[in-house]
Structure 1
Amino acid sequence: MKRLHWLLLAGMVVASGAEAQERKTPYWASIATGNALLRTGPERTYPATWRYRRRDLPVQVIKVYGNWRRIKEQDGTEGWMLATLLSAKRTAIVTGDTPAEMYADADAGSRIAWRAEPGVVGQVSKCEDGWCLFDVAGKKGYIQTDHIWGVDPGEEVE
């Protein structure tokens, strides 16, 4: 009886994982580990072109093929990655050449809480009307979406 219970539970976990991966493309994801390979094709036999050492980098999933995802990076580079190396955690990276202001409220007239250097990665939430709440290691503030890559223009994120 215990074995049947574990088999049913395992089946539910696999099913919920599969449902989570069946999203309409394109969609945003992030690198889930500090050791992820980008490949030229959707199999382990294809050569790796890059090894990601930085977790939480935002990527855009543009195609699904079985357990593989074709992703696009901020600079336009594309390649294939195993779905298990990706997370649904929403992150973004600061763009531009100068630090981006993070405000206390979603209003450029509010107090500047922090400034984030280009290349800084943070978690995004509460995105609407061109603003996202941006959390960089516990330092939070609202940032304009045209200063980050990882959110579509006009997209609302919970």
Structure 2
Amino acid sequence: MQGGLLGLALMVSAAWAGQDRGPVTNLPLPRYVSMKASEGNVRRGPSLTHRIDWVYTRRDMPLEITAEHGHWRRVRDRDGAGGWVHYSLLSGVRTVIIEEDMLSLYRRPDTRAPETARLELGVIARLGECDLHWCELTAAGYRGWALKTALWGVRADELRD
């Protein structure tokens, strides 16, 4: 068993090692974060002099960081829209958006387990532990496991403890 876990850990390490790293933070690119603020300007470039293209207005919304420049992060949302956001508006707290209407949450990562809740399309949930196929979520006081394929904000190969 331990050899299997070690092998899995080495595969995950190798996967992360193959990723690009941000020149500012040395964290993997791309990577997911969430909106810390309830409102954040999305700019055309990485400075206050660049035009504001739109404003994100959803606190905890998951975003994918694709580039870094000083205190700025280029992000994209689940629709592929993006731009530059000041790093102070972002949080390392992981969230996901539910991509399937009435998504079942299960007590365990097993479709035969009892359901704990159903989440509507577009709900934002806090991301917990993930294995290859399932992630543990918390939303509106409910907790349970959902299939990873129904979530935006977590990589298909991502494992979380």
TM range (shorter): 0.7 to 0.9
Task: Tell me which of 56, 59, 62 is aligned to 1:58.
Answer: 62
Letter of the structure 1 residue corresponding to residue 155 of structure 2 = D
What is the alpha-carbon distance in structure 2 between the residues aligned to residue 133 and residue 45 of structure 1?
41
**Residue 133 of structure 2 corresponds to residue 130 of structure 1:** yes
* Worse-superposed segment, 86-95 or 133-142: 133-142
In the alignment, which residue of structure 2 is the partner of 1:10? none
Task: Tell me which of 89, 96, 102 is aligned to 2:93.
Answer: 89
In the alignment, which residue of structure 2 is the partner of 1:67? 71
- Give secondary structure in 2 for the equivalent of 1:84: helix
Task: Tell me which of 30, 42, 45 is aligned to 1:38.
Answer: 42
> How many Å apart are 1:39 and its aligned residue?
0.7
In the alignment, which residue of structure 2 is the partner of 1:154? 157
What is the alpha-carbon distance in structure 2 between the residues aligned to residue 35 and residue 133 of structure 1?
27
- Give secondary structure in 2 for the equivalent of 1:44: coil
* Worse-superposed segment, 49-58 or 113-122: 49-58
Contact 1:21–1:83 under 8 Å retained in 2 = no
- Give the RMSD, CA atoms, in angstroms: 1.3
TM-score norm. by structure 2 comes to 0.82
In the alignment, which residue of structure 2 is the partner of 1:28? 32
What is the alpha-carbon distance in structure 1 between the residues aligned to residue 126 and residue 28 of structure 2?
22
* Identity level (%): 30
Q: Which residues of 2 match residues 100-119 of structure 1 at below 5 A?
A: 100-119=103-122
> How many Å apart are 1:21 and its aligned residue?
3.9
What is the alpha-carbon distance in structure 1 between the residues aligned to residue 68 and residue 159 of structure 2?
23
TM-score norm. by structure 1 comes to 0.84
What is the alpha-carbon distance in structure 1 between the residues aligned to residue 84 and residue 139 of structure 2?
28
> How many Å apart are 1:109 and its aligned residue?
1.1
What is the alpha-carbon distance in structure 1 between the residues aligned to residue 134 and residue 53 of structure 2?
34
Structure of higher CA gyration radius? 1
> How many Å apart are 1:85 and its aligned residue?
0.5
> How many Å apart are 1:130 and its aligned residue?
1.0
Unaligned runs of 5+ in 2: 1-23
Letter of the structure 1 residue corresponding to residue 81 of structure 2 = T
Contact 1:37–1:48 under 8 Å retained in 2 = yes
